[in-house]
Structure 1
């Protein structure tokens, strides 16, 4: 059973559209929209959010995200009224980025705390420039495993391929970094990978350290050889 995700928004269309996007990256996760009032107008509704939390909880808990302040209040009231308030948590995170990060983390088997942390961390996620003075060919750590890949899939490292890459190394004991040009990204973060802007034909570097570094590299190479399942 995976952690569920509930998206509380003032607009039903916003919540539903975002849930659809997140579900594309995490097909086995219940991402439940809870947007708008019952009559279709703008607002948040306690009963709608409560039903969404119940639906999303398959036994591993629920992470609830929201768009604006009053949505936060509604979400917190729902969680506080649960028979087991510990079954769900309301997370302060950017709604779009947080929803994607949370869904992918849940798909990878993270527990509720891990999914909540992924959502909360999404606000600061992005490609990082290497420290000044660190050359592109600087020596990696002694225990690092490295490879280079040329992206052959049509969309490069955009949303779905990025999510597949994160899922491929979920649970592997390794710190994995992707490098493109002067930027690098944590390979466990969908948003960081996407922010690299790597497209078809681009060559990226992959570096892994840790007990399962070779396994992580092997999984990424296999995924690239499959063209990220785009064929």
Structure 2
């Protein structure tokens, strides 16, 4: 039976290490593809266009929206973020699970379009650790950090809509747990309806 790829949505508070988790997952295990999102925010130090994000203007982003070139998009902290449709669907057709790092608004859009998408929410081991990680970046002001913590409170209201939570305390352990959850999700009946129907039909011939 050919294994079909599906969408894996990874959300979580800013500072929980979502990006690092995803990169380590792809590095350690085969069968995954990282989706590169488009954004209108400025690159952070060390980020490259086309690697972490496609950094585009507001006008370019709005053009993609009009052309239905995004499977989801949302505003976050004064900027646009969105997922290009063509890349995602090509990877799934090739049997790869496409990992998307998006926030709750986008996750809701994905679930409507792709009911079989797997939604994972990454959480810190404690609120104190979350603040420590945000301040440890050294790239944002106190005002921005407070804004991200306030946003985390709002986002916590939507956690129950996700399929699983992952606590990122130990990076390696969390990467392995993420892989196990995704791998197990491939065996749910809803993601294997074609195979179920095939076996059911063949068994009927012998009954």
Same fold (TM over 0.5): no
**Structure with higher helix content:** 2
TM-score under structure 2 length normalisation: 0.32
Q: Which has the higher contact order (CA 8 A, sep 6+)?
A: 2
TM-score under structure 1 length normalisation: 0.29
